[in-house]
A and B are shown apart, each in its own frame.
Chain A
Amino acid sequence: MTSRLFIDDLNSLMLKRYNIDAHFETKDQHPMAMQYLEVYFQKKFKLFINGKALEYQILGQKRDTDVVVFFIEAKDVYLNDIYELEVYNALLTDLFDEQQNVVHLKINNQKKSFLLMKDKPSGLLKLD
């Protein structure tokens, strides 16, 4: 999985929520930035396969213009056994009331997108 977040938004979030100057993707990146980010993701970004929460970890990050791309991996997922996939994405909705998160799913050649926001942070995809 990849997650793309605006650097400025992310830095503002880290300052407001955890009181650190995160400086993502600069030489001054705060030593605790990734730890806080991991904590934040586990709280605000959740995946459920067939109703069961999926464990994942953030492998790393890279910069793309004004965006940080995070690389996220979940292990032991059996694609053929999935009949229902739920995404909960409330990233940055605590910072901005009007934050919109777009989630693109591609699974077994089936494509689906969700537009998730504060009032509607979850999307459910049922597979045939």
Chain B
Amino acid sequence: MSIDVMAEGDPDQASAVKQVSSSKPASWHQVIWSSKKARVGIYILAVYVLVAIFAPLVTPHDPLDSTFTPLVGPSSLNWLGTNTAGQDLASQLIYGTRVSLIVGLFGGILATAIALLIGMISGYAEGTWLDDILSFFTNVALVIPTLPLIITLVAYSDVRGPGLIIGVIAITSWAGPARAKRAQIITLRNRDFVTVAKFSGEGTFRIVFREIMPNMASLVAASFIGAATGAIAAEAGLAVLGLGDTRAVSWGTMIYQANLQGAMTQGLFVWVFAPGLVLGVIITALTFVNFGVDLLSNPHLRED
């Protein structure tokens, strides 16, 4: 919840923004780039993406290779040492980036797509029975606490591939964004350009997604980043409880294993804390990027 609140318009970001020259409207990347926070976020994100793509080049070891001496400290062979099973912690962290980014990307896309579909149709049809039904579903999904539902859904599956986790996260997290989009489209649907489109005989679907949606691009982007952030956090939470993808190494499963093997009592704090730290950094980075995207949807934040 906290992240949503922050993303949705801190009135004070203006100070972080350089005055954009007033002769012509700044393009979207200039606006985002003008925010220092967003720049930092993009740099960090770029590092994560590169690490994820080139994981096999960054680290020479397989994250599941358990042939190293267990419990050695940091060395030139094992940069962060090894765990009780003799696996290289640095490699696990590096490969864990892949899981988080994939879950974030696809979980974010899927959740945003559901939110768009339901929110846009519901808002455009405001006041009709269709809107009543869709709004009811949205409100129900909004009040049901997410994590218990995710846990219940995942617990019943024996094979927990990334697809399942992405799907479950997406179908439990679309409600908030859907409501925001419904509210937004209600303000847009009576504008002149929509009326023109209606009179020129365009279909409802086309009006909603081709005429109105481009006007909400920055909102959609912000909600995608928010959903991706939520998906990354949810995947980690699930994995910490032992509900992660059974075949891959992720930051959450590292923490789960560390707890299981009593890493805390043995003082193996790298094993416990490093995954949480890299997780915290990427979530910070995404939040920062969203500050920049907010400048697009809310021009008030731009002018000082």
Q: Do A and B come from one complex?
A: no
> What residues make up the interface of A, taking CB atoms closer than 8 Å to B?
none
